[in-house]
């Protein structure tokens, strides 16, 4: 496990946050079903609370990332509801795998699979295992009389815990409940954009749209020329069916949140044409990546999902390529959002790809690159400040979890630190001091308990230290006074012997700080 305390220079937050990264499993980890080892490559995992979902070659799984336990949801022996025979694949080589990765929300997993005929579909299953339900597949009749076949083959889905948005090809998008009922069209090539323009979802199906609550946000355009045509982020209500009325292309009411005729915040180019990329809807906010089509300026932005129809609202700058981070043309298109917090993939000085957390106005580095690897971030990979990601390394591929680490509690006000005389032993030579910690409060304190020595003079060192603080008193040495599982009752005390190495001539002084609890010291 790796710990780090990083606050990226250039964005402000009062205190740096500590993160830990740990390997959940890799290609060397045996599967619980005894069918070889896990192979998470190349699907992007999804996380909700402590439960992650992922694809591993011939099967779909969930994992409790805190307990390390696994549940297999489906494999090649599982019958396909609404299809033929058993599942034959959970992967489509013709589509971007990021758009078809399993997603979890409200304890339900949505995944892509093919039946014995090779026909693809979207399916739902409880995260704890159980009955698999068909959402939509190649045999599902669509409202416009078509099917998810040929140019309308399933390319992408988004899930908000209640509804599933399914995109067919590059031009048609539909919404259904998790059990496949109430399938409607939310946008197609006849959906109007600002007066007489048509709606075409953006060319890359994996970034086309996002559903949350009763609305859908998507990137649409009126022609394929992204450098000159009109492109915009739109938000549609998801609970009404699109109506097309011939040449006027009128449709469900929609909101233009931001468009290609608006300059990006912070862009100083005199001649611009904003090019839009990934979009995620989170509550009343739309998050999107964009650049100025020259590739000289790009970033991650947000806009109000309630902006008035066709007006194009102001965008907020979250992150750009002038902060010392970079990603590539189109902006920081690999990102995920959870309740206003954003995890984003970015390169920094040494061209290493890492993940950063945008939260409360600060930018925090969550992972630290240690080797040349290819990392992959899913669309629902952030939950409660923790992010799960695929790490393709030179020797193995594995799933990792980056999480904020809480500090132990500062209990200095409840502990009397009684310092004995400092004694110099000229024979060794060392400096010794006896210290007693007394619980002056009215309640029992559970271990571990640690004593930190802050403000030690230059040249003074604690020789019998347990470690150096990364959280409570960053940079200061500490000694563990009471181990986990032990207790300090009211009025009781602990005796410690401190051993110092010294080049100050015996002038040892420090300010004691005491902590308790299992958080980071």
Is 396 within a domain? Answer: no
Q: What is the pLDDT of residue 396?
A: 64
Query: How high is the pLDDT of residue 213?
Result: 82
Residue 12, domain member (yes or no) = no
Structural domain contains residue 475: yes
Q: Distance between CA atoms of 169 and 151, rounded to whole angstroms?
A: 5
The answer to whether 172 and 146 are in contact (CB under 8 A) is yes
Q: What mean pLDDT is reported for the chain?
A: 79
The answer to whether residue 1 scores a pLDDT higher than 60 is no
Whole-angstrom Cα distance, residue 344 to residue 387?
Answer: 10
What string of H, E and C letters represents the secondary structure of 28-65?
Answer: CCECCCCCCECCCCCCCCEEECCEEEEEECCEEEEEEC
Residue 131 has pLDDT above 90, yes or no: yes
Q: What is the pTM of this model?
A: 0.76
Which runs of E-coded beta strand occur in 178-326?
184-187, 192-193, 197-198, 200-201, 209-212, 215-221, 231-237, 255-259, 275-282, 285-291, 298-304, 315-320
pLDDT of residue 268: 80
Query: What CA–CA distance (Å, rounded) separates 265 from 322?
Result: 12
Q: What pLDDT is attached to residue 350? A: 57
Q: What pLDDT is attached to residue 149?
A: 77
- Pick the range with the lowest mean pLDDT from 283-297, 400-414, 500-514: 500-514
Looking at per-residue confidence, does 44 or 348 come out higher? 44
- Whether residue 446 is predicted with pLDDT greater than 80 in this model: the reply is yes
Is residue 11, in this structure, part of any structural domain at all? no
Confidence of residue 373 (pLDDT cuts 50, 70, 90): low
Is 139 within the bounds of a domain?
A: no
Is residue 427 predicted with pLDDT exceeding 80? no
Mean pLDDT of 97-110: 89
Q: Give the residue-averaged pLDDT of 322-336.
A: 76
Residue 496 falls inside a structural domain: yes
pLDDT band at 322 (very low <50, low <70, confident <90, very high): confident
* Per-residue pLDDT tens over the stretch 182-230: 887 776 666 655 433 444 444 333 346 888 987 888 877 655 445 556 6
Tokens read off for 275: 């090019």
pLDDT digits (tens, 9 = 90+) for 249-272: 234 455 667 777 778 888 887 566
Residue 424 lies in a domain: yes
Q: Is residue 122 part of a domain?
A: no
pLDDT category of residue 174 using cuts at 50, 70 and 90: confident
Choice between 399 and 520, residue whose per-residue pLDDT is larger: 399
Please choose, from the candidates 444, 436, 448, 434, the residue with its C-alpha nearest in 3D space to the C-alpha of residue 486: 448
Most confident of 206-210, 326-330, 468-472, 481-485: 481-485
CATH number of the domain within which 423 lies: 2.60.40.290
Return the minimum-mean-pLDDT range out of 44-53, 220-229, 341-350.
220-229
- Looking at residue 10, its pLDDT comes to 41
Residue 196: Cβ within 10 Å count? 11
Residue 496's pLDDT band, with cuts at 50, 70 and 90, is: very high
The parent domain of residue 492 ranges over 409-516
Confidence band of 33 (pLDDT split at 50, 70, 90): very high
Residue-level pLDDT at 319:
87
What domain count does the chain have? 1
Cα–Cα nearest to 5, from 391, 468, 513: 468
Q: How confident is the model at residue 240 (pLDDT cuts 50, 70, 90)?
A: very low
């Amino acid at each position: 496990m790796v710990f780090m305390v990083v606050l990226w220079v250039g964005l402000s937050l009062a205190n740096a946050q500590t993160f830990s990264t740990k390997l959940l499993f890799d290609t060397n980890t045996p599967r619980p079903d005894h069918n070889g080892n896990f192979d998470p490559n190349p699907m992007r995992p999804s996380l909700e609370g402590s439960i992650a979902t992922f694809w591993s070659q011939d099967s779909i799984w969930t994992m409790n990332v805190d307990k390390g336990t696994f549940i297999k949801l489906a494999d090649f022996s599982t019958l396909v509801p609404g299809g033929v025979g058993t599942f034959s694949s959970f992967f489509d080589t013709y589509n971007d795998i990021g758009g078809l990765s399993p997603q979890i929300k409200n304890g339900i997993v949505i995944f892509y699979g093919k039946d014995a005929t090779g026909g693809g579909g979207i399916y739902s299953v409880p995260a704890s295992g159980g009955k698999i339900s068909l959402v939509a597949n190649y045999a599902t009749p669509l409202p416009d009389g078509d099917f998810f076949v040929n140019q309308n083959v399933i390319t992408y889905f988004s899930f908000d815990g209640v509804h599933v948005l399914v995109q067919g090809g590059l031009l048609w998008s539909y919404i259904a409940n998790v059990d496949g009922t109430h399938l409607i069209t939310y946008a197609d090539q006849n959906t109007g954009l600002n007066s007489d323009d048509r709606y075409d979802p953006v060319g890359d199906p994996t970034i086309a749209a996002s559903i949350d609550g009763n609305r859908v946000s998507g990137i649409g355009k009126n022609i394929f020329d992204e450098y000159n045509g009109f492109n915009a982020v739109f938000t549609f209500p998801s609970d009404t069916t699109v109506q097309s009325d011939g040449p006027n292309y009128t449709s469900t009411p929609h909101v233009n949140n931001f468009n290609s005729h608006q300059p990006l915040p912070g862009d100083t180019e005199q001649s611009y044409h904003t090019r839009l990329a990934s979009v995620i809807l989170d509550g009343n906010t739309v998050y999107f990546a964009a650049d100025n089509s020259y590739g000289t300026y790009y970033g991650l932005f947000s806009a109000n999902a309630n902006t008035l129809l066709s007006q194009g609202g102001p965008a907020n700058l979250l992150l750009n390529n002038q902060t010392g981070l970079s990603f590539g043309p189109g902006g920081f298109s690999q990102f995920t959002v959870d309740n206003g917090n954003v995890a984003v993939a970015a390169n920094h000085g040494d061209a290493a790809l890492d993940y950063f957390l945008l939260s409360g106005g600060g930018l925090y580095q969550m992972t630290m690159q240690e080797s040349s690897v290819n990392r992959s971030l899913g669309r629902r990979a952030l939950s409660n400040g923790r992010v799960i990601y695929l790490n393709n390394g030179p020797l193995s591929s594995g799933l990792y979890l980056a999480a904020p680490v809480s500090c132990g509690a500062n209990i200095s006000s409840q502990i009397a630190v009684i310092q004995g005389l400092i004694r110099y032993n000229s024979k060794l030579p060392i400096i010794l001091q006896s210290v007693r910690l007394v619980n002056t409060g009215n309640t029992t304190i559970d271990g571990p308990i640690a004593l930190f020595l802050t403000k030690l003079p230059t040249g003074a060192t604690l020789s019998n230290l347990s470690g150096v603080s990364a959280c409570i008193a960053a940079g200061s040495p500490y000694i563990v006074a009471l181990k986990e599982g032990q207790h300090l009752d009211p009025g009781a005390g602990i005796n410690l012997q401190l051993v110092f190495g010294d080049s100050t001539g015996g002038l040892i002084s420090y300010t004691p700080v005491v902590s308790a609890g299992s958080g980071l010291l």
